[in-house]
């Protein structure tokens, strides 16, 4: 009995592969559409992973920078620094003159002609205080307290960046979801139609199968296998393109902006491959199941 | 072997195919179903191989209440019966052997079992020597013989034949008829729907006549009985 079941499963599997190879044109179209849909999902996953990583990196930073009003006298600056030190949650305060800031900026952008040209015209920067808080958790409270101090022109702290990144992440998430859903729908329809055509092409065979006592699993199985194969191949194509594409983008970004916390491709590739291929399999399976609705009904009535 | 009690079949469009049919077929019988087109012969056969369910009444085949079979049980039931049709229903692009083997393959039979069974089934209909020929390259009579081999490869105890000689010339029709009689002589119960009165007249077998969905005559070999 178990051997018979195994043979049935083997027959289902081989028939599914044969079905897939029988109509290469339709197979290529289905795989292509699934690949495009999954490629977008892949791009979304990469973008979301990086934004989340950036957000985590930034929020783990305890530094904030307080820019002082232009033209403040050194004494007033020292007084302000002393007041900042007394704010609860502040661990240390370091004064950075605008000259030091300019020197640091020049070091970071050495070789960047456009930036160097701007900096050569004069120092547009302000004196600032680098404030280190006791923990990221107190950053918001400390920032509010410091923002109210007279002489503070501008305040930059992780909470703002995290909030902005959160907003970007939300936009990316929704846009990705909408686009991926639309493409997944089109891929689902193409796969579903490919299976429907396969069913129509094998109508006679199915009729005979049912007549001689093939189980419904035996009739439907090959089509489900075919659908999953179409989706899985789409997933593989999407994985390859995403992995290669992300590798290139990550290399380029790391070279251009080494300070950006990019998630190393090696860290996401396996997860990407798993998600995209599994997504493809599910997409193909659901598409095939949809196409087989009628066949299932007919088979169950027979 | 077969028992129909008060069987009525009405299709969703309101057309009535069978009306209160009572019919019993004993194990090993050969029964001709005759009657004009639309009399209900094919509908009766469809109830027997569970393509349709009766609207009213019960259909019992070999102890199985066919009308009450759940969808998942239909496949196993069909392995116990054989069915052939006027249009043969072969897969034209496949060889004779593959057509017959297909019936076993889709039920998960092992390659050894397939080899063991297909040979004798094709021998029985005299087509082993044409096992590698494509179905389309055969004559009508030969195609029907392949269909019989496919129907019998599961060794069913009941063979249902829906106008099996309808598309055949007289010589081929007689050959197919002879094969069915041979199968019956070896113990298979056969129910054959036919218009071919000359075949029916040739042999002394039970004849059930249907008209407008009712059994109007049930003539057993050697005598006549009337049914409703």
**DSSP at A126:** -
CATH number, residue A92 = 3.30.70.3040
CA atoms within 13 A on the CB side of A71: 0
Whether residue A173 is found in the same domain as residue A110: no
Average pLDDT value for residue range A121-142: 83
| Distances in whole angstroms, Cα of residue A185 to Cα of each of A48, A189, B52 | 22, 6, 36
Phi, psi torsion values for B210, nearest 5 degrees = -110, 145
Interfacial B residues in 81-120 facing A (CB < 8 Å): 83, 89, 91, 102-103, 105-110
- In a domain, residue B198? The reply is yes
Residue B95 pairs with which residues in a beta bridge? Answer: B134
Contacts of A251 (CB under 8 A, 6+ apart): none
pLDDT in the model for residue A299: 44
CB contact under 8 A, B154 and A213: yes
What is the arithmetic mean of pLDDT over A125-153? 84
- Does the beta carbon of A298 lie under 8 angstroms from any beta carbon of chain B? no
Q: Looking at residue B112, what DSSP letter applies? A: H
Task: For residue B226, name the pLDDT band (cuts at 50, 70, 90).
Answer: very low
- Gap between the Cα atoms of B62 and B217, Å rounded: 24
Residue A130 lies in a domain: yes
Percent of chain A exceeding pLDDT 90 equals 9
Same domain, A241 and A100: no
> What tens digit of pLDDT does each residue of B146-166 get?
999 999 998 999 999 999 999
The pLDDT-based confidence of A111 (bands split at 50, 70, 90) is confident
Question: Where a domain ends, among A91, A117, A134?
Answer: A134
pLDDT of the residue at A301: 47
Provide the CA A299 distance to its chain's centre, in angstroms.
42
Domain boundary at A116, A134, A152, which? A134
Contact criterion met (CB < 8 Å) for A212 and B79 = yes
> Band of the pLDDT at A297, cuts 50, 70, 90?
low
Instruction: Determine what percent of chain A is predicted with pLDDT higher than 70.
Output: 92
pLDDT score recorded for residue B228? 38
Of the residues A84, A115, A134, the one at which a domain ends? A134
Q: Does residue A265 sit in the same domain as residue A200? A: yes
| Residue among A211, A215, A296, A299 with most chain B CBs within 10 A, to mutate | A211
Residue with tokens 């072997």: B1
Q: Does A211 touch chain B (CB under 8 A)?
A: yes
Instruction: Report which of A82, A171, A163, A94 is spatially closest to residue A131, judged by C-alpha positions.
Output: A94
Residue A24 or B129, more confident: B129
Supply the pLDDT for residue A298. 52
- What is the pLDDT of chain A when averaged over all its residues? 82
Nearest-by-Cβ selection for B75 from A5, A208, A214: A214
The pLDDT of residue B108 is 82
Is A208 in contact with B91 (Cβ distance < 8 A)? Answer: yes
Residue B139 lies in a domain: no
Tokens of A179: 């686009």
Q: Are residues A294 and A173 in the same domain?
A: yes
Question: Per the CB < 8 Å rule, is A216 touching B150?
Answer: no
Answer whether residue A89 is part of any domain: yes
pLDDT score recorded for residue B59: 96
Check A302 against B50: CB less than 8 A apart. Answer: yes
- Residue B49 pLDDT > 60, yes or no? yes
Q: What is the DSSP string of B190-222?
A: EEEE---HHHHHHS--EEEEEETTEEEEEE-TT
Q: How far is CA A39 from the centre of its chain?
A: 11
Range(s) of the domain holding residue B7: 1-71+191-228
- Please indicate, yes or no, whether residues A90 and A170 belong to a single structural domain of this protein: no
Q: What is the CATH number of the domain that holds B8?
A: 3.40.50.300
Nearest chain B residue to A9, by CA: B108
Evaluate whether residue B220 is within a structural domain. yes
C-alpha–C-alpha distance, residues B178 and A151, integer Å: 113
For B108, the closest of A5, A204, A302 (CB atoms) is A5
Answer yes or no: do B107 and A213 touch at CB < 8 A.
yes
Contact between B86 and B92 (Cβ < 8 Å):
no
Number of domains observed in the structure of chain B: 1
What residues make up the domain containing A167?
2-58+163-301
Chain A segment 230-259 residues within 8 A of B by beta carbon are none
Q: State residue A292 phi and psi, 5-degree precision.
A: -85, -5
- Cα nearest neighbour of A208 on chain B: B89
**B78 vs A211: CB contact, 8 Å cut-off?**
yes
d(CA B163, CA A126): 100
- What value does the mean pLDDT take over residues B116-121? 94
Q: Residue A153: inside a domain, yes or no?
A: no
How many residues are listed for chain B in this entry?
Answer: 228
What are the two backbone dihedrals, phi and then psi, of residue B184, each rounded to the nearest 5 degrees?
A: -65, -40
- How is the beta sheet containing B206-211 ordered, strand by strand? B81-85, B158-162, B189-193, B30-34, B206-211, B214-219
On whether both A79 and A44 belong to a single domain, the answer is: no
Predicted confidence at residue B60, as pLDDT, reads 96
Number of domains in chain A: 2
Q: At residue B224, does pLDDT exceed 60?
A: no
In the predicted structure, residue A302 carries a pLDDT above the cut 60: no
Q: B80 with B62: CB under 8 angstroms?
A: yes
CB proximity A4 to B under 8 Å: yes
Q: Kindly state whether residues A33 and A90 are assigned to the same domain.
A: no
Maximum Cα–Cα distance for chain B, whole Å? 49
Q: How far is A191 from chain B (nearest CA, A)?
A: 25
The confidence score (pLDDT) of residue B46 equals: 94
**Highest averaged pLDDT of the listed ranges A74-88, A136-150, B212-226:** A74-88
Same domain, A19 and A73: no
How high is the mean pLDDT of chain B? 90
Has residue B182 got a pLDDT over 60? yes
Chain B's closest residue to A297, CA to CA, is B71
User: What is the layout of strands, in order, in the sheet containing B64-65?
Assistant: B16-25, B2-10, B56-61, B64-65
Residue A77: pLDDT above 50?
Answer: yes
Q: Write down the ipTM of this complex.
A: 0.84
Give bridge partners of residue A132 from the DSSP assignment. A63, A92
Closest CA to B77 of B101, B105, B97, B50: B50
The DSSP call for residue B51 is S
């Amino acid at each position: 009995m178990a051997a018979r079941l195994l043979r049935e499963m083997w027959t289902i599997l081989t028939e599914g592969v044969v079905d897939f190879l029988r109509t290469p044109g339709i197979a290529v179209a289905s795989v292509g559409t699934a690949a495009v849909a999954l490629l977008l999902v892949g791009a979304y996953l990469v973008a979301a992973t990086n934004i989340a990583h950036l957000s985590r990196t930034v929020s783990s930073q305890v530094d904030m920078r307080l820019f002082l009003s232009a033209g403040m006298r050194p004494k007033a600056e020292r007084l302000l620094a002393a007041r900042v030190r007394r704010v609860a949650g502040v661990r240390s305060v370091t004064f950075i003159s605008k000259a030091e800031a300019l020197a640091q900026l020049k070091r970071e952008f050495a070789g960047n002609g456009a930036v160097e040209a701007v900096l050569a015209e004069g120092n547009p920067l302000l004196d600032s205080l680098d404030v280190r808080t006791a923990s990221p958790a107190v950053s918001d409270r400390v920032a509010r307290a410091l923002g109210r101090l007279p002489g503070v022109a501008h305040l930059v702290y992780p909470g703002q960046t995290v909030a902005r990144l959160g907003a970007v992440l939300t936009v990316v998430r929704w846009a990705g979801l909408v686009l991926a859903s639309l493409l997944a729908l089109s891929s689902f329809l193409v796969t579903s139609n490919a299976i429907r055509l396969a069913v129509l092409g094998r109508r006679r065979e199915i009729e005979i199968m049912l007549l001689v006592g093939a189980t419904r699993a035996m009739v439907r199985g090959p089509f489900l296998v075919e659908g999953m194969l179409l989706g899985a191949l789409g997933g593989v194509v999407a994985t390859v393109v995403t992995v290669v594409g992300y590798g290139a983008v990550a290399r380029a970004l790391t070279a251009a902006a080494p300070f950006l916390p990019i998630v190393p491709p090696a860290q996401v590739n396996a997860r990407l491959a798993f998600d995209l291929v599994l997504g493809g399999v599910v997409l193909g399976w659901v598409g095939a199941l949809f196409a087989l609705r009628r066949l299932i009904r007919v088979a169950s009535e027979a | 072997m077969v028992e129909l009690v008060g069987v009525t079949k009405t299709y969703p469009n309101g057309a009535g195919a069978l009306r209160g049919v009572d019919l019993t077929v004993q194990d090993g019988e050969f029964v001709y179903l005759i009657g004009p087109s639309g009399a209900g012969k094919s509908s009766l056969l469809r109830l027997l191989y569970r393509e349709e369910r009766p609207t009213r009444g019960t259909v019992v085949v070999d102890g199985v209440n066919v009308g009450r079979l759940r969808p998942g049980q239909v496949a196993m039931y069909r392995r116990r019966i054989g069915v052939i049709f006027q249009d043969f229903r072969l897969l034209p692009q496949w060889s004779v052997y593959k057509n017959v083997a297909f019936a076993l393959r889709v039920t998960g039979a092992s390659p050894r079992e397939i080899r063991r069974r297909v040979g004798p089934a094709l021998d029985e209909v005299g087509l082993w020597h044409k096992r590698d020929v494509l179905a389309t390259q055969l004559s009508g009579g030969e195609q029907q013989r392949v269909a019989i081999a496919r129907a019998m490869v599961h060794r069913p105890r009941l063979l249902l034949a829906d106008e099996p000689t309808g598309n055949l010339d007289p010589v081929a029709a007689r050959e197919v008829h002879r094969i069915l009689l041979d199968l019956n002589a070896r113990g298979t119960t056969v129910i054959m729907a036919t218009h071919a009165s000359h075949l029916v007249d040739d042999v002394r077998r039970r004849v059930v006549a249907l008209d407008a969905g009712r059994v109007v005559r049930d003539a057993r070999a050697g005598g006549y009985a009337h049914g409703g």
